[in-house]
Structure 1
Amino acid sequence: MANSKKKGNRFELKISKWFTEWTSFKFGRTPYSGANHQSRDLSSDIMCQDERHAHRCKISVECKNYKDIKFEHVLLGNKSCDILRFWEQASKDAKRAKKVPILCMRYNSMPANEFFFVVEGGQGTIGDYIWRQSKKASMSIFTSVNLYIFLASDILENIDYKSIHKQAKLIVKNQ
């Protein structure tokens, strides 16, 4: 297995544990994660595996752990911008599964227990709810899509998963 694949697998396991802690439901790596699968049920890198919640879970989680993530590429309109490419993949997979996308991304020199929690912004979105509830600064990127970027530690400390899941259910219902 290539080092980048191992790195991605480790990050997916870390994110699974984080989501399990945040939601109180068991999350784990999706079988064949990273494969180009077309199954609606295998649409993200990690998934809820808790029998009490898995069939109701309305979030699709994509994980990206790269050497470097260049936020300035968004501002410069760089066509090969990793962040926008990551978001496009997360959105496409979530749409196929009739879920709401969440992108978890980090770069190498970030603190070990930190990552970026990226969601769509705008009125009635999960990003809007988190932005109003959050106690710390966040970043908004406005391009062809509005993205809100939060630190995972802020989400864990200040945002209740049940409220996010309720919002996700409304979004999916209205799609």
Structure 2
Amino acid sequence: MSINSKNKGSRFERKIGAWFTKWTGYKFERNRAGSGAWHSNKDSTSDLTCTDERHAHRCKISIECKNYKEIKFEHLLLGNKGCDILKFWEQASKDAKRANKVPILCMRYNSMPSEEFFFVVGKDLSSVFYKPIFDKANIMVIDVPKIDEILYVFMASDILKNVNYKLVHKQAKLILKNR
């Protein structure tokens, strides 16, 4: 990984942290595990973590961020073994499981509008996003038999306008309780 791509990823993580802070009302920041600043936070597996003392210990979501030159959804349909989206989701899921959290994947490609990104959740968490924006937004549903998962892809701007984070947190807690 080049220095430029590492810087690009760090900038994207900071931007997504600010977005989550705005959406949730709680402070989210890049995860700097190993810096010493995060010694009390067990969520050292995801790209972002809630650092707000009012919520950090209760936060049940694990956030993976990916900012790439291209994101090719058609690779899912073609069954390409090296499909980046599958790799991204598998990493998000693995990291979330390790932290006993529910995964959320935030992806963007270079030519997207600067304030926009794809917001991806699995079938367990989808209903809390799907219902409030069903008639108001574009939603992509991807059945991925290879990993026995259905992914729901939303635009971040639709989530920000239409979905209440408290409902997401409540659903994530329920998912973890029923595992």
- 8 Å contact from structure 2 (residues 43, 49) kept in 1: no
Q: Distance in 2 between matches of 1:40 and 1:28?
A: 14
The match for 1:129 is: 128
Q: Distance in 2 between matches of 1:129 and 1:11?
A: 25
- 8 Å contact from structure 2 (residues 62, 104) kept in 1: yes
- Show the 5 A alignment for 1:19-168: 19-32=20-33, 41-121=43-123, 125-134=124-133, 135-144=136-145, 145-168=149-172
Q: Distance in 1 between matches of 2:77 and 2:42?
A: 33
Query: CA shift at 1:41, angstroms?
Result: 2.5
Q: Distance in 1 between matches of 2:18 and 2:43?
A: 20
- 8 Å contact from structure 1 (residues 116, 152) kept in 2: yes
Query: CA shift at 1:129, angstroms?
Result: 2.0
- 8 Å contact from structure 1 (residues 40, 96) kept in 2: no
Q: What CA RMSD, in Å, does the superposition of the two structures yield over aligned residues?
A: 1.4
Query: CA shift at 1:40, angstroms?
Result: 5.1
Q: Give the 3-state SS of the residue equivalent to 1:112 in structure 2.
A: coil
1:92-121 Cα distance to aligned partner (Å, 9 max, x none): 000000000000000000000000000002
Q: Give the 3-state SS of the residue equivalent to 1:20 in structure 2.
A: helix
Unaligned runs of 5+ in 1: 34-38
1:172 and 2:172 aligned: no
The letter for the 2-side match of 1:130 is: F
The letter for the 2-side match of 1:43 is: T
Q: Provide the TM-score with structure 2 as the length reference.
A: 0.90
- Show the 5 A alignment for 1:7-18: 7-18=8-19
Query: CA shift at 1:60, angstroms?
Result: 0.2
Q: Provide the TM-score with structure 1 as the length reference.
A: 0.92
Q: Give the 3-state SS of the residue equivalent to 1:148 in structure 2.
A: strand
Say how many residue pairs are matched: 167
Runs of 4+ with deviation above 6 angstroms:
none
